[in-house]
Amino acid sequence: MTKALLAASITFVMAGCTSVQVQPLERMSYLDTVCIERNEAVIVPGFLNVIQQGFSRNGLNTRVYDAPVPGHCEVILTYTALRSWDVTTYLSHAELWLNDPYGDEIAYAQYHLVAGGGLTFSKFAGVETKMNPVIDELLVNY
């Protein structure tokens, strides 16, 4: 019994938990380009590039603007991304918000490593590995 409990505990600690929440973007026939508001506070290397590549992979163009985003934008993406440290830095949390020109949220995605990823080595995976499935789920209708 003790060995089984110990094995289960080690497995739980080693697995770490990743939480992904997505409210997909509904298909809009007129949508060709998503405007991205650059977030200078995000210092996760390559994060913005991964977002742009993910949207392109799903058939949507992107344009990056410093705030404020121009009024002609039909859909505006804002984002945040946080790093944690354990031997090296790694992406531990990210959120993507898609809003209409009036500021109403029309889609949302979140990636979160519960407890910073625990002891699992998968927490050190690259931004692309972590965010590509999230972006693809966000844009599943495209």
Q: Decide if 11 is inside a domain.
A: no
Q: Work out the angle between the directed axes of helices 47-57 and 127-138 (0-180°, nearest 10).
A: 40
Q: What is the mean pLDDT of the chain?
A: 88
pLDDT of residue 77 exceeding 90: yes
The answer to whether position 90 is within a domain reads: yes
Q: Flag whether 4 is in a domain.
A: no
Residue 36 has pLDDT above 70, yes or no: yes
Give the mean model confidence (pLDDT) for residues 102-119. 86
Note whether residue 131 is domain-resident. yes
Q: CB burial class (10 A; 0-12, 13-18, 19+) of residue 35?
A: buried
Number of domains observed in the structure of the chain:
1
Q: Which domain holds residue 80?
A: 26-138
